[in-house]
A and B are shown apart, each in its own frame.
Chain A
Amino acid sequence: MDTQEQELEDIELFQKHVSDRFTELSSPPEDDALLSVSWLHRLLDVFLCCEAEFEAILIMDRDPSQLSKPPFDRLIPEFIERAVKALDICNAVANGVDSVRHCQKLSEIVISALDQNPLGDGHAKRAKKALLMLLSAMNLDDKEGTHVKATERSWSFGRRGVNKEQIAGHFRSLSWQVAKNWSSAKQIQSMIYNLVAPRGAEASGLPSPIYTMNVIMIFVMWALVAAIPCQERNGLPTHFPVPKQLNWAHSLIGLQEKIADEWKKKEKKGMSGLLDELQKMEKLAQSLIDFTDSFHFPGDAEKVKEAAANVSELKEIFGRMDQGLTPLQMHIREVFHRIVRSRTEFLDVLEKGSAPVL
């Protein structure tokens, strides 16, 4: 089989793998709901696998000068630029995970407070405070958190009651900024910019997997931003210009549409991340806060039972977060380093390819 045929076969195989992997992601088992912590882990794994295959196709056993000729002299630098943008998103998301860990910590307080038998007034009050903190932490606009000045902050959980300004100050985790005026939404938008599916002859050659990898990278970053609260997500694009007729893209597009729908729903209410655990936590927190509000020792037996059930669900979520969040940050770092390496490889190839033959 000559090299060109081999190449076509490799490309086909690559795209089949992509399709398979995203199909798997689309029908997750019970525990692995869409955009849950463990689902995100799988998404990142999919990225790493696809990326490895992609690099192999493009670089291995290939004469570098081939990649310096059109259209690759444009396609590859564009890919590298998008990769750099993805790096900043990785950082923003990895730090956003910190704010989720903050929620996790707050929920731990709630659990400590309410996981008592018998439940006392003191416990309920403690839980209520923590719940209020938790709810505002989750619904805080990403923007607000970053602009609160130090002088406005007060660190008291105290009796004075908790109003929004004070709570805003508590959202300490968002103080990390990628850069001033940086926006994750805009970043995604600029990654999508100029993304054009290859047509005609190019569609069956190397430009095709390059396009595929671009789409995968954008999708993964986009999903991460949707799930995890990070800097400035207002205006996150909900539409990807991926032509539906591409076979490998079906599952991906399906996923994208599902997530986009969720996003649009949530956009109206507030800005908490679409992370499955966060969403569930929010619901539980809402019902628990109603409970603690109206609680007086010894409390209504029905309601106490209900609350206990909520608390045990909360415990479960807490457990999943506890197990999965720090590894998620590490996983994102892994993706970060892989993208850095990949970029270096491509830059090397471009350099070698354009070096004059002496």
Chain B
Amino acid sequence: MAMSRLEEELIHMLVKHKQQSEPTYMPSPSSQRNVVYNESVVSLDNESAKEASSKTSCSDECGQYIVDLVPEHVIPDIKSIAKVMFASDYGQEFCEAFIGVRKEALEQHFDILENGKLSIEDVLKMEWCSLSTEMNKWTWSMKIIFGVYLMSEKRLCDQVLGEFGSVNSFCFLEIAKTTILCLLNFGEAIAMGPQEPEKLLRLLDMYETLADLVIDIDALFSEDGGSFVRLEFHKLLEGLADSVKAAFNAFGVAVSSNGSLYPFPGGGVHPLSKYVMNYISMFPEYCRTLNLLLEDQHSDVANLVSEPQCGPTASLSTSCPMACHLRSITSSLESNLHKKSKLYKDEALQHIFLMNNLHYMVQKVKGSELRPFFGDEWIRKHNAKFQQHEMNYERVTWSSVVLLLKDDNPGSSSLSKSAFKEKCKGFSVAFEEVYKNQTSWCIPDPQLREDLRISTSLKVVHAYRTFLGRNPAHVDDKCIKHTVEDVEKLLLDLFEGSPRSLRNSRRMMKT
């Protein structure tokens, strides 16, 4: 029968030429990843291990690429077969064959993208690392499938079936259905899931990708038959928007509720500070989306933020919704850090801790894309804060020590021997006490450490030198345990993070 022969030829042509024209544009998602870390906030206390995980930087350059799914020269032949078959009322057979081959081709492309076929149950139960990978794959696949393959497929359908009316869009829909439903399903499963803080960036990627593609989806499925596709993806977009908001809120809650049972040893930069600052430093990339989604929550937050950015230094970026939320988060972090500092019995260490952490926060803001959102005003204020803690530390630690060296009787000449001895001893004991305690404390930032040493040194060494200088007669006495140089050297041991006792260092100095 002539028709069957035609059919055979059609299919043969489609299959043969399908294989020959794999599009050359196939960049892999892995070429675009920056390694950033992600971790869960839950078990942060006293933990140091962080897992690095990759993030796709969602390249905006993936626009539409229309490729020739079937070589140009074959199309007229296919068209003529179509004409004949439709004219002889064999249109249905043509469609069946055409849909069959094209659908398979599309699914092969989809398989290459390696989207795991996952049930909703699977997705809801998946652990974070795997889920993160799947979300990346989804984001990538959406761009490729809609931006490249479906665009091209639509063009092919238009070329072949353009003159046969609604058959065209019917065939296109049938070809595309399975693949897009698979993508839709995963998206829906994600939107249903619990929205933990660590999901935020992946969710933003997914949302942004879909938001960009939704116009294309509307265009591709503009006819009645495709209305449910448009509807479902619009619904999904809303669902993802809600998910982003939920994850963002969860992040805020996690920051403020992160509790500690024990004080953080050494008083250095707390893992919570690191987590929060590093995490939020990735938000500016999603500024446009976050501003859009967080807008309705803006008004509540703006009131909570303790440093309103009005005045001459205020700009659009510091007053946008995302900026307000960011400051609210760091404000939460500060409160939390204050709570944590109260766990230290030693008041001086409380100040060191707060100084370290606030300084870290400022450095992070200054050295990243966060700067325009926090603004100079915020930086100034927080600089002042940690400097205040610096001064408090000095006061708490050294004032009493220095007081011991004070001249009770200004104007009189040097002290009696016993008075001198007493003062010397008092100073040594106090100094050694501080030494013993504070060598195990930590100031991670070298600049800050140096600053504190210098300022301490100025105070203490100066006072000691003055004291000894006022009593030259007793200088050779054995009661002087430490020389001025000793004191200077010993001060350098402070804040190194490794506890020392003076016996060790004396032994070291003698050799």
Contact = CB atoms under 8 A, between A and B. Distances in A.
A95 interface: yes
B120 A84 contact: yes
Interface in B79-94: 89-90, 92-93
A175 interface: yes
A158 B4 contact: yes
Interface in B234-281: 235
User: Which has the most chain A C-beta neighbours within 10 Å: B93, B101, B107, B124?
Assistant: B93
A182 B12 CA distance: 34
A85 interface: yes
Contact of A109 (B5, B92, B188): B92
B121 to A, nearest CB: 5
Contacts of B232: 333
Given A157-B4, A176-B181, A176-B182, A85 B121 contact: yes
Contacts of B50: none
A155 B119 contact: no
A159 B5 CA distance: 8
A159 B188 contact: no
Contacts of B8: 156-159
Given A87-B120, A125-B1, A112 B7 contact: no
Interface in B52-100: 89-90, 92-93, 96-97, 99-100
A245 B68 CA distance: 66
A344 interface: yes
User: Which has the most chain B C-beta neighbours within 10 Å: A84, A154, A175, A330?
Assistant: A84
B228 interface: yes
A41 interface: no
B119 A88 contact: yes
A: interface residue count bin: 35 or more
Given A175-B178, A330-B228, A157 B89 contact: no
Contacts of B99: 172
A155 B228 contact: no
Contacts of A343: 192
Given A333-B228, A343-B192, A88 B120 contact: yes
A105 interface: yes
B48 interface: no
A344 B192 contact: yes
Interface string B1-14: 10111011001100
Interface in B10-32: 11-12, 15
B40 interface: no
User: Which has the most chain B C-beta neighbours within 10 Å: A85, A157, A333?
Assistant: A157
A174 to B, nearest CB: 10
Interface string A78-114: 0000001101100100010010000001101100100
User: Which has the most chain B C-beta neighbours within 10 Å: A98, A158, A330?
Assistant: A158
A281 to B, nearest CB: 16
B411 to A, nearest CB: 62
Given A84-B120, A177-B117, A155 B92 contact: no
A153 interface: yes
B9 to A, nearest CB: 10
A195 B248 CA distance: 37
A172 B104 contact: yes
Contacts of B188: 340
A231 to B, nearest CB: 10
A202 to B, nearest CB: 28
Contact of B93 (A109, A172, A177, A340): A109
A60 interface: no
A180 interface: yes
Given A108-B92, A157-B4, 18 more contacts: A84-B124, A87-B120, A88-B120, A88-B121, A91-B120, A155-B11, A155-B97, A156-B8, A157-B93, A158-B7, A159-B4, A159-B5, A172-B99, A172-B104, A175-B178, A176-B178, A179-B122, A340-B192
8 contacts: A95-B178, A98-B178, A109-B92, A126-B1, A156-B7, A158-B5, A172-B103, A333-B228
